[in-house]
Structure 1
Amino acid sequence: MRIPRTALLAGALASVLLAGTAHASSSSAPAFKAALAKNPIYKTGKLGYETCDEPDVQSADLDEVRVYLEGVLDCLDAAWKPVVQRAGFTFGKPTLRLTGKAGVPTGCGKFPAGAQAVYCPANRRITFLVEPGTVEEPNDLWLMVVLAHEYGHHVQRLTGMLGAMTRYNGKNAARVLDESRRIELQAECLSGTFVGSVWHSLGRKDTDFTFIARRGGSGSVLSLLGIKGKDQAQQTHGSARNIGAWLTRGYDTESAGGCNTFKAPKSQVS
């Protein structure tokens, strides 16, 4: 979920997807529930889905972006279904909704200003904002990276991770917000897992991926929000460097097993 801190804290601290600041005194990872740190999906091996027929997209025209995202969504469904089932969970497809403005209902509140896309676990829907500037250049890989990130949240929902997150009770903010940052960085890693798995079928230059990774992966849109927005992005989703590092790790390993952020030291999820 690409949401700045102000939008989250306005009404989401008691919901499933949270974000914020958390810095434990130890440099090692704290103990988390088995559903988070020892989830069976980590032992499913490589994604194993190697070919995605990536649609062409030349502009931010809503219908054109819709065709692109729906095509990539079909690939994501086909890629993750056998993995989720292999891990012992029931698979179900998410739905996709495109919108041209913030504020529309998502099923988990209104689409927040400053976000590019959100996933609602209550209705399993990905809502994607399409506006001028969404496609910076023809066939912008960033669209795939963002959609695959939100799909990563869907995988987390299907495998019980989102349901295992600590609920905010007014006194445990540090714990809740630490888990939230790890869940976001894991979704970024799962995005990289998909992109890496299908990469050779896309016919792209390696620089298409490395450019996005160095900009902070799916979170690079928040660079448009100014200094305050970037600070909020780091508090809720981790630094641009760590986002890019987890995206790259997923890309390199092509496996959910490389995305266990709940075993990572604090320095890698800050």
Structure 2
Amino acid sequence: MRLKGVRRSRNVVDRRGRRGGTTAGIGGLSLIVVLAIGYFAGIDVTPFLQGAGGPQQQQERPLTADEQQAGAFAAQVLATTEDVWGDIFVQEFGRPYDAPQLVLFSEVTQSGCGGASGASGPFYCPADQRAYLDTAFFAYMAERLGAEGDFAAAYVIAHEVAHHVQQELGILSRANQARASMSQADSNRVSVMIELQADCLSGVWAAHIQGLLEPGDLEEALTTAERIGDDYLQARAGRQPNPHSFTHGTSAQRAGWFRRGFESADPGQCDTFAAERL
């Protein structure tokens, strides 16, 4: 991904040098691995985390060179999402786009949706309209999932921003409100629709920054989409894939909807809620 000369967004809140405590027995990348497996595979990892934390002490530390590089990268990618969705909102929806903040953190953090220890790596919180990212998740993707490359990481950021786009358009709040009165199976199906639409919107973003793409970037994003499919991750965790428990969609669905957004460059093609087939 060609980011030389691309501005850095000012909507980044970096908490990585300020950790609110330690987690005995589980720390650093190991914690991210536990959280990621739980989030993507639908496994409750709370028992692994409860009682693990020691006394909460504010810790200050300098950022490593890798962390500084990851922070700069995230700020530039976020800036591209601001430019793309800023234009699309005016042209397609006739109103300005209110960009989200991206919070960078290490290990655990607090959000408007509660503690991040119940989710993995990146997530979007509708309550405070912020996206959250532990940049160590990039290493987990590359080392454990084989989802390597800068555009793989950029896709992850774009996907969380896409949830904010859904929130801005009222889609996310309506869907989550409907889920509250549904059975677990039906709620999971709506969750899949939400996630696949975010994948599609990520593809739309990618289509609008094609001038920044390098050979192989599209393949990196598609590989990442496949490696974070529910069926792939459940099988990788030694479980029989259970479609009724899927919350993000299969590998084929995730890659397919990203490609649909990329090839159409049109957010109107991302209505997973009206699709006859996901």
- The normalised TM-score by structure 1 is 0.68
The one-character-per-residue Cα deviations of 1:15-64 (angstroms, maximum 9, x if unpaired) are xxxxxxxxxxxxxxxxxxxxxxxxxxxxxxxxxxxxxxxxxxxx982211
Please state whether the residue corresponding to 1:91 is helix, strand or coil: coil
Task: Indicate the residue corresponding to 2:4 in structure 1.
Answer: none
Counterpart code for 1:123 = D
Task: Indicate the residue corresponding to 1:126 in structure 2.
Answer: 131
* 2:212 is equivalent to residue 201 of structure 1: yes
Task: Indicate the residue corresponding to 2:250 in structure 1.
Answer: 239
Among 166, 184, 201, the residue aligned to 1:173: 184
Q: Which runs of no fewer than 5 residues in structure 1 stay unpaired? A: 11-58
Task: Indicate the residue corresponding to 1:155 in structure 2.
Answer: 165
Task: Indicate the residue corresponding to 1:105 in structure 2.
Answer: 110
Counterpart code for 2:164 = H
Q: In structure 2, do the counterparts of structure 1 residues 230 and 96 end up closer, same or farther at CA, with 3 Å as the change threshold?
A: farther
Counterpart code for 1:108 = C
Task: Indicate the residue corresponding to 1:91 in structure 2.
Answer: 97
Distance 1:186 1:84 in 2: 17
Distance 2:182 2:141 in 1: 41
Distance 2:163 2:208 in 1: 18
* 2:86 is equivalent to residue 81 of structure 1: yes
Q: Is the contact made by 2:226 and 2:250 (CA closer than 8 Å) also made in structure 1? A: no
Counterpart code for 1:117 = P
Distance 2:248 2:221 in 1: 16
Task: Indicate the residue corresponding to 1:227 in structure 2.
Answer: 238
Quick check: which has more Rg, 1 or 2?
2
Aligned-residue Cα RMSD (Å) equals 3.4
Counterpart code for 2:218 = F
Q: Is the contact made by 2:179 and 2:190 (CA closer than 8 Å) also made in structure 1? A: no
Identity of aligned residues (%): 24
Task: Indicate the residue corresponding to 1:216 in structure 2.
Answer: 225
Q: Is the contact made by 1:66 and 1:98 (CA closer than 8 Å) also made in structure 2? A: yes
Greater shift after overlay, 169-178 or 68-77? 169-178
Deviation at 1:84, TM superposition (A): 2.1
Q: Is the contact made by 2:149 and 2:220 (CA closer than 8 Å) also made in structure 1? A: no
Task: Indicate the residue corresponding to 1:39 in structure 2.
Answer: none
Counterpart code for 1:74 = A
Counterpart code for 1:111 = A
Q: In structure 2, do the counterparts of structure 1 residues 8 and 97 end up closer, same or farther at CA, with 3 Å as the change threshold?
A: same
Among 185, 203, 223, the residue aligned to 2:196: 185
Distance 1:233 1:160 in 2: 26
Deviation at 1:114, TM superposition (A): 5.9
Counterpart code for 1:213 = L
Counterpart code for 1:97 = V
Counterpart code for 2:68 = D
Deviation at 1:168, TM superposition (A): 4.1
Deviation at 1:244, TM superposition (A): 0.6
Q: In structure 2, do the counterparts of structure 1 residues 127 and 263 end up closer, same or farther at CA, with 3 Å as the change threshold?
A: same
Q: In structure 2, do the counterparts of structure 1 residues 239 and 170 end up closer, same or farther at CA, with 3 Å as the change threshold?
A: same
Counterpart code for 1:98 = L
Please state whether the residue corresponding to 1:156 is helix, strand or coil: helix
Please state whether the residue corresponding to 1:61 is helix, strand or coil: helix
Q: In structure 2, do the counterparts of structure 1 residues 217 and 94 end up closer, same or farther at CA, with 3 Å as the change threshold?
A: farther
Distance 1:135 1:64 in 2: 17
Counterparts of 1:49-64 in structure 2, within 5 Å, are: 61-64=66-69
Q: Which runs of no fewer than 5 residues in structure 2 stay unpaired? A: 1-35, 48-63
Deviation at 1:146, TM superposition (A): 0.4
Deviation at 1:144, TM superposition (A): 0.7
Deviation at 1:94, TM superposition (A): 0.5
Q: How many residues align?
A: 215
Q: Is the contact made by 1:148 and 1:191 (CA closer than 8 Å) also made in structure 2? A: yes
